[in-house]
Amino acid sequence: DTAVSQTPKYLVTQMGNDKSIKCEQNLGHDTMYWYKQDSKKFLKIMFSYNNKELIINETVPNRFSPKSPDKAHLNLHINSLELGDSAVYFCASSQESGVNEQFFGPGTRLTVL
């Protein structure tokens, strides 16, 4: 069983479109995250949710809207896609607190044309 899964794995779309990426974890964790990895492999946190509540929002454009229907799911919806949104997006989860390691999904490679 995959611990943290994301769908889709690849997403190719046109500028201006709206798209969603789904994430699910079956580890029973209470905190979930979205990260963006750019073409230079830099990793940066975008959002963090704890028990369905937003706790970190790292100055991400409001075209990006995370939604957590329950503790096991954290989806990312992106409106009006731009060329600069092209990246790999990773979902992760952990038990709350900074001492616990995070478990990452396989990533979603988003390409905006």
Binding residues (CB under 8 A) for other proteins: these are 4, 33, 40-45, 48, 56, 58, 90, 92, 98-99, 101-107
C-alpha 113/C-alpha 66 separation (Å) is 23
Closer CB to other proteins, 15 or 55, in the complex: 55
Q: Tell me the closest approach of the beta carbon of residue 49 to other proteins, in angstroms.
A: 13
Closer CB to other proteins, 15 or 43, in the complex: 43
Q: Which residue has the tokens 């611990």?
A: 3
C-alpha 16/C-alpha 11 separation (Å) is 14
C-alpha distances (whole Å) from 65 to each of 18, 54, 100 are 11, 11, 26
Closer CB to other proteins, 8 or 16, in the complex: 8
